[in-house]
Structure 1
Amino acid sequence: MKKQHQADWSAAEQAQQHYLIEPRHLAGGGDVRHVIEFLRASGWTDRSKRGGPLILDSPDHTVRVGYDPFTQPGSWTIRGTATRQQEAWHATLGRQTPVEIVAGFTDALTRPRSAHAPNVWAPLQEQGWQTERGRHFTAMSPDGNAFVQFHRAGPGEAFWWVGARTEHGRAWDAHFTLSTPMHLIQSFSAALADPQPVMRPRGHVPPSDRLRITSVSVLPSQLGAWQQARITAARAAAWARNSWLSSRSRPAARSRAIANHAYR
């Protein structure tokens, strides 16, 4: 009987119309849960209050990610506190920044830094973005609708400026202070330049003639499985990271105990 119920449920499931959108930098904001649920699954603490902005703190309390849709124009704000190895930093991303691109930055907050020196421009150049040297070093997308710029505001002043435009004007902007860790900006630029389309449901496709849109039918169970796979990957990475830190701390604790006993 149970198998029969499952078969009936599967048969009753209705496909929903969605759209694959290219280029992704013009796809619109998307579902913020793509970012937020990944951070939660990675062990971040949710400080949000009901009816207010979303706020999450990193496990070590050095980074805070916020999303406020209640103010105009609304934005993502990400702040890193000063540590021994890192100056304080701040990033602001417009509300219509596609969540897949935001996640390029925020997902990197949950991973250890690579041993390789970061290069913000490399992912862009690999995807055909054109770079131009001048007062401001700039990379422009192949369609001419998105840019990454190292903006020199004045003597000793500089910041990173990223944005996208349509025939209707500005779609979104993002700003990163000069002290923002470079590996995070590189991860952001890699997500920005990724040629893979992103998916949006009906009613959430921006009005622009510069989009390439493909209609697809998707089952709710498929959407749920894709979302769950991302969350599962975050939980697995967090578990592995915590296990590694725990295994490192145990020998150190034993050494301290032995040393304390020797001096008694």
Structure 2
Amino acid sequence: MRTVPLSERQLASFADKHAGQIPFDTGPRHLAGPGDARHVTHGLAAAGWTTLSDPLDAEIVMRSPDHRYRLQFDPQSTTSAWWRLRAENSDNGRGWYAEFGKRVPAEVLSGLTDALAAPASPPQDPWEPVTRAGWRRDEAGAAHSPDSLCYIERRPMSEFHHLPSWHIEARDARDAQYPGPRIWHAFLDEHVPDRLAGAFLTALTDRSPLQRGMFDHTAHHSAVKEPSPLSPQQVVDAHTARMKAIGAQVRAARRRQTTPAPRLPHTAAVQPTAHR
């Protein structure tokens, strides 16, 4: 399939929205609110994913160039999951499923989708970035954010699941024994590769803030918002630079796949020495 790059019109639309917003650094990330969904969809488009849905439809459906992966974003969903990501069975691995709630920060989800679009990286321990960020581990092995409003759990095998699956939730504070209403959730089934789970957890536990507009009211009331040192244009430029980097990475990987292996120099066959 021919790759259709992200268009200048699509980037201009992103710029039009953000150029007029005064950015505020917002953290921690799990309380920053959903942000702009185009952090996810533009990244996949830059990687060559195609859009299958009607451009005038609120629902967005995208498919990877090899047709194995499918992303669905439905902001009108009556369920708690607005993002659904599926992988079909292939010669390279089992199929899998992941879903994410409507208030998951798009920049955190894009950590996973960017890794999905990138060439496969060496295996990593998904817990490593969580430990590095200083999240507390309890006796059951779950990790809790410093403010205790987000937790990460890898639920063990059961009679229904042969491998552990990932469950991440951010919840409002009520008291130590009874957590409050759920803010957002993420579920990654037992076949999601560790490198993708690790990419999501790396983006989630990153201590650097996310940029939200001054009058963006989607962040949790406990989030800390401070005027950002970044200008609106710098926010737009960072997005554009990321799209270019993803496109360059995909093109480089494609060249490596299509470049034939170098031919060995021709040498004359050595004739066996006759015995006298």
Q: Tell me the alpha carbon deviations over residues 202-251 of structure 1, each in whole angstroms, 9 at most, x when there is no partner.
A: 33234644212102376543332122111111111111111111114897
Report the counterpart of residue 211 of structure 1 in structure 2: 223
Report the counterpart of residue 104 of structure 1 in structure 2: 111
Distance 1:15 1:53 in 2: 26
How many aligned residue pairs are there?
A: 235
Correspondences of 1:199-238 after superposition (within 5 Å): 199-206=211-218, 208-216=220-228, 219-238=231-250
Asked if the contact 2:211–2:228 (Cα under 8 Å) also holds between the matched residues in 1, the reply is: no
Q: TM-score scaled to structure 1, two decimals? A: 0.82
1:124 aligns with 2:130: yes
User: Taking every aligned residue pair, what percent have the same amino acid on both sides?
Assistant: 29
For the residue of structure 2 that corresponds to 1:199, the secondary structure is strand
Q: Comparing 92-101 with 68-77, which one deviates more in the overlay? A: 68-77
Report the counterpart of residue 177 of structure 2 in structure 1: none
Report the counterpart of residue 27 of structure 2 in structure 1: 22
1:45 aligns with 2:50: yes
Distance 1:171 1:16 in 2: 25
Q: Tell me the alpha carbon deviations over residues 143-170 of structure 1, each in whole angstroms, 9 at most, x when there is no partner.
A: 2111110123733524210111223621
Distance 1:118 1:223 in 2: 30
Report the counterpart of residue 142 of structure 2 in structure 1: 138
Correspondences of 1:239-258 after superposition (within 5 Å): 239-248=251-260
Distance 1:44 1:68 in 2: 17
Distance 1:208 1:90, change over 3 A: closer
Report the counterpart of residue 32 of structure 1 in structure 2: 37
Asked if the contact 1:78–1:92 (Cα under 8 Å) also holds between the matched residues in 2, the reply is: yes
Q: Tell me the alpha carbon deviations over residues 38-78 of structure 1, each in whole angstroms, 9 at most, x when there is no partner.
A: 11011111112121411111111111111110112451100
Point out the structure with the larger helix share: 1
For the residue of structure 1 that corresponds to 2:244, the secondary structure is helix
Alignment match of 1:184 (pick from 196, 206, 210): 196
For the residue of structure 2 that corresponds to 1:196, the secondary structure is coil
Report the counterpart of residue 79 of structure 1 in structure 2: 86
Q: Tell me the alpha carbon deviations over residues 61-110 of structure 1, each in whole angstroms, 9 at most, x when there is no partner.
A: 11111111011245110000001231110000011100111011111101
Report the counterpart of residue 196 of structure 1 in structure 2: 208
Alignment match of 1:93 (pick from 81, 97, 100): 100
